[in-house]
Structure 1
Amino acid sequence: MDYPLMTRLVAEFFGTMLLVLLGNGAVANVDLANTKGHHGGWILIGLGYGIGVMVPAMMFSTISGSQINPAFTIGLAVSGMFPWNEVLPYITAQMLGAMVGQLLVVAAYKPYYDKTTDTLAVLGTFATTDAAKSHFNGFVNEFIGTFVLVFGALGMTADKIDARVDSVALGFLVMTLVISLGGPTGPGLNPARDLGPRIVHSLFPLKHKEDSHWHYALVPVVAPILGGILATELWKLFFIK
């Protein structure tokens, strides 16, 4: 059935909130001092993000499409597969959901934020950074990763037969992307997942934090959007009759 725009926006809000809560929550569990999962490893983070995408997709894919990613929303609009007049409302819902999700991570882990003196580790529970101190490498990484994410998502959901099976496959794709391409930047693969929490980091009065690395902030916004546009354009060119 076709849902009203407001219902779909609520779905995008909660979907993105869950993505950030479960994904960045996994990062917090691994990287913050004295948590039960401290030093649990990158696999736990990959699993957190994979399930963090799979659960909202299972809940909301038949309602809003569970886009939960401005790169996907804009890519679809550029390719004519999503109405432009709904792009800004979708992105607004996604951004707000990401910010609320991050606030919930902080609420859950506040004692451990207070114990963590490594300010870069604290920032890493909010937003991505370029490990090689290279904006170019970060851009390449985010572009490639988001291209694979969007191209894969379009392929997995093209038959429209069983949205829940597609959601499981999408979760595994995200988990694999984090494990395979997460070393250089995080990765973000999603402007809302990075920018929303980065804004929270800059505004929230944490005990131990440095600047929010705004010099890098455009990279995980622009690169995923361009990667998403290329993925949707190529999918439309070769696979949509």
Structure 2
Amino acid sequence: MSNGDIFVGEVIGTGILILFGAGVCAAVTLRHSKARASGWIVIAFGWGFGVLAGAYTAAPLSGGHLNPAVTLGIAVDTGKWDKVWVYLCGQMVGAMLGAVLAYLVYLAQFNANVGPGTTNAEGAGRTEAAEGTEGEPASAVVADEEGPTPTLGIFSTIPEIRNPVANLITEIIATVGLVLPVLAFGLTKGLGESGTQVLVVALVVVGIGLSLGGPTGYAINPARDLGPRIVHQFLPIPNKGTSDWGYALVPVVGPLIGGVLAGLIYNAAF
């Protein structure tokens, strides 16, 4: 595979992954979404399907890593480091692109993220769908009794209990739980030949979300968290809240450590 193929494949595949993943988080989180409050199971399956679609799309070009932790785990196992930087660059660009696309899909919902009793004049264009509601004019007070919805969780992970050491341990263990099976699946020749390896990995991601995702939101992918967090910092989302850079190292460093550990374990055991 050429550097160009790898870069393009990882941009497209990771972009699809984040589009689906941030998209399902937006669907469940934002008001005026038909999937609002659907719950954690929907989010876990949405991310799993994102892995499925992204990896299948990228596989012919780059092998479909979509995750720096996976790339590092493979490099540790094989000793081939020359193309790691190409994978990482493609993954970061794709993650940011996917976050922007998810924002555009839910643009109207993000723009309706206003505070209680905000008028259209005060909101400076952040109008909700007041038109057509009992004939109420667009200049009327925006009906938003709940207040603005925090938006960072749509793009990046937020721990339920903020404890950097515990959060780091969670991300390391969860990432080993992803990367080690990914490496081991390569031993089963039939999975790769039939194309079902990607499906199995997607199901593993769903399983990790359901079983290990509760404490931190399971980043298990540095690009998945950092790329969208950067995008969140700069997007013009009304009342978007903080991008929480004080926590940002945990979902980057934890998965990187987990990926390296998985490569070392795999190399020693198989």
Q: Name 1:15's counterpart in structure 2.
A: 13
1:12–1:93 Cα contact (<8 Å) kept: yes
Structure 2 matches for 1:46-195, cutoff 5 A? 46-79=44-77, 81=78, 83-116=80-113, 121-163=150-192, 164-195=195-226
Q: Shift in Å at residue 48 of structure 1?
A: 0.7
Residues 150 and 239 in structure 2, CA contact (< 8 A), matched pair in contact too: no
* TM-score normalised over the length of structure 1: 0.93
Q: Which residue of 1 aligns with 2:29?
A: 31
Cα contact 1:126–1:197 (8 A) shared by 2: yes
The CA distance in 2 between the partners of 1:121 and 1:156, in whole Å, is: 38
Q: Give structure 2 stretches of 5+ with no counterpart.
A: 115-146
More helix by share: 1
Of structures 1 and 2, the larger Rg is shown by 2
Amino acid of the residue matched to residue 183 of structure 1? G
Structure 2 distance, partners of 1:32, 1:140, is: 30
2:42 matched residue in structure 1: 44
Q: TM-score, normalised by structure 2?
A: 0.83
Contact 2:180 2:262 in 1 (8 A): yes
CA distance in 1, matches of 2:180, 2:155: 26
Q: Within 2, Cα distance between the matches of 1:92 and 1:119?
A: 34
Deviation at 1:15, TM superposition (A): 0.7
- Structure 1 position 91, deviation (Å): 0.5
Q: Find the counterpart in structure 2 of residue 207 from structure 1.
A: 238
Report if the CA contact (8 A) 1:154-1:235 is conserved. Answer: yes
Runs of 4+ more than 6 Å apart: none
Deviation at 1:116, TM superposition (A): 3.2
Offset of residue 38 of structure 1: 0.2
Q: Residue 267 of structure 2 corresponds to which residue in structure 1?
A: 236
Determine the C-alpha separation between the residues in 2 that align with 1:23 and 1:82.
31
Question: Residue 55 of structure 2 aligns to which amino acid in structure 1?
Answer: A
Instruction: Give the superposition deviation at 1:58.
Output: 2.1
